[in-house]
Chains A and B, each alone.
Chain A
Amino acid sequence: MPTTTALEARLREYARQYDRDFPSTNGVERRIMARMAIAPSQPPRTRRRWEWATAGGLMRELAVVTVLLLLAGVLVVGANKLRALQPRTVTPPVTATPPPVGKLTQPPAYWTALHFVSADVGWVAETKTSAGPSTPGPTFIYKTTDGGRAWQQQLTWDGPGPVQVRFSADGSQGLLVGNGGVPLFKTADGGAHWQRMDPPPQATQVALQYFLDVNEGWIISYLNEATPGFAGVFHTSDGGQTWTQTARLDVNQEFSHGQLGGSLQGNLVFRDSSTGWMTPVTTSGTGITPVPPFLYVTHDGGKTWAVQTFVAPLGGALNSSTAIFSPPQFFNDREGLVLATQQSIPNGPGAPTFEGTYAYTTTDGGDHWSAPQQVVIPGGFVSTQAFSMIDAKTWLTFDASKVERTTDGGLHWEILDGALPADAYAFEVEFQDVNHGWAAAIIGPAHPTLAIYQTSDGGAHWTALTAPALGGQATGG
């Protein structure tokens, strides 16, 4: 039988593995902030900072009284009664119902995708919420062909919304990709008919996925083999109809730079059929020596991977433990951009702070990246707000209803006053060019509804479009 000490060591090692392999939670952060934005803020209890904290003194008094009562109880009632009373005196029990709160605001659904191929033709995805904790869904796909005046429901499935939506320029070919490649729907007639595809059967534990267009995509999945730690690279060039395993990777060899063990946690993006990047989620911890900031890069369609190191800012502390990379974004064949946000390492239980954001640019398709340029991101957190990079210099952020725009690559920002209604929270944003864009928002807080807005002047002014009805339920417009 293993000793307790040995078992504790194994549990801790197992916990590290669990952490390394746990999926990204970026999506839920934005949903949380959306709900916060539309929820009526409760006035704080200024006299009582927090019930438990305030209750501390009271608890001690109660404890003293209770101890006296308990002592009496020993004499009168006996030891059994004493044991029954004791647990009530220290901390509040885990109640059957959650802590009392103010009135909650739950939108009927969330936007989970928005994509327009022209001023007239576009698709949105809505995923319905539920009254209590349960798996989100169903998801509805709607299409407009008249610039958002009318919407037609095209597809629905039970489950979370798509993580990628791809359409050809004319809108005829389309692909909807769910998390882990499930579900995977394909259309060849603008969405009138959809065919459900499957990820490769060997891909039972999908870690990374990316579709370059409606046809070409990759899935990297752990392989269900007797020896754990190997992943398969699966490639499709027909929108998921057929898959080919192109490589078998030893994760602990290929993806363990600056880490104690290999991990596929992160994001996958491809610039073309051969060159792609994996932005790793690196961790800090005991026994890990930080290395300069880096991404993994492939030049053969994911068959082999190498480390691509980025120059750290002078005097800065940007390294593998503190850098949070956004996936590289390309604006044409050669010009691209990647943002790295520097996060402080919490020493103890404190929350991390964001120390700054750096932009790296490329003009040769990502073979070389510039020195870091410090930029400003309003609000600081890219992950919790809608953020759109239209080109290397023109970016927009949507902090709830506040729209800010930079035209010099994040050096200076202008606030676009009154662009969106004050009670709007932009959820999904897409721009076709520097002028034309769409925003899918939640409007709250009294009766949260979904709305879609369009701009033709770079975000300065927005026009409300009709929002599709959710599963037969009117949701505004």
Chain B
Amino acid sequence: MSERDPRWFESMVVSLTRPATKYANVLVHDFDLAEEVVQEAFARMWASPSMPTEEVHFRRYLYRTITNLSHDYYRRLARRSPSAAPEAEDMNPLEVVQERANDEVIRAALQILGPRERQAIYLRYFEDLSFAETARIMGSRQVTIRVLVFRALAKLRRHISANPFPDQVAI
């Protein structure tokens, strides 16, 4: 593959847009916004002279860019409205999808996690990534991610234990 092959980049767009949007949606809780974040991330990848030319590195770099753009979004949101919490949303397509899920308890439990915990749980269990790869994408040490996931799982277990039925969960 040539280093700036538009066809190769296009194949990355075709194969990674959907998983990247799913990932962005977990971070920003808005499908339209997730699409914009992913679009911006791909555009930055293309404009970057150091764009990775191997799929595994490309994906890692893309996810990190998405993470950073999501953080940017929340910072801008916070500047505009100091009281606006990142977790707050009215029309949340992620929830629309999630509400469809059979496991309502899991859906509700995931909401109690912090952004980084949710990010780690998503990469580890939704994308089935190894701890090493999750750590690379999140820019942390592997041991840190292991601890983060362990604590998040403990939180989820405690929450599910205290709220075993969907109708007992306060959202």
Contacts and interface: CB of A to CB of B under 8 A. Distances in A.
A461 interface: no
A351 B139 contact: no
Interface in A1-33: 1-2, 4, 7-8, 10-15, 17-19, 21-23, 25, 27-29, 31-33
A1 B105 CA distance: 13
Interface string B1-44: 00110110111111111100110010010111101111111111
B111 interface: no
Given A39-B43, A134-B36, A222 B68 contact: no
The secondary-structure label for the interface of chain A is: loop
A387 B65 CA distance: 30
A39 to B, nearest CB: 5
Nearest to B121: A11
A106 B25 CA distance: 22
Contacts of B73: 132-134
A349 B19 CA distance: 12
A41 B153 contact: no
A10 B56 contact: no
A25 B128 CA distance: 21
B157 A7 contact: yes
Contacts of A205: 96, 99-100
A106 B47 CA distance: 11
Contact of A17 (B13, B72, B100): B100
A57 interface: no
A68 B86 CA distance: 41
B126 A15 contact: yes
Bin the interface of chain B by size. 35 or more
A7 B15 contact: no
A384 B13 contact: yes
A11 B31 CA distance: 21
A315 interface: no
A99 interface: yes
A351 B12 CA distance: 7
B15 A133 contact: no
A133 B29 CA distance: 13
Nearest to B68: A98
A7 B53 contact: no
Contact of A96 (B22, B42, B57, B68): B68
B136 interface: yes
A80 interface: no
Interface in B42-85: 42-57, 59, 61, 64-65, 67-73, 75-76
7 contacts: A11-B156, A12-B125, A21-B101, A25-B38, A46-B3, A92-B139, A351-B12
The 10 A-B pairs at the shortest CB distance, nearest first, are namely A94-B139, A44-B3, A15-B126, A1-B161, A42-B49, A101-B48, A11-B125, A98-B68, A28-B35, A17-B101
Given A205-B100, A381-B11, 17 more contacts: A7-B156, A15-B128, A21-B97, A25-B17, A27-B35, A45-B50, A50-B51, A52-B61, A97-B68, A99-B44, A133-B36, A133-B37, A134-B33, A136-B35, A205-B99, A228-B99, A351-B16
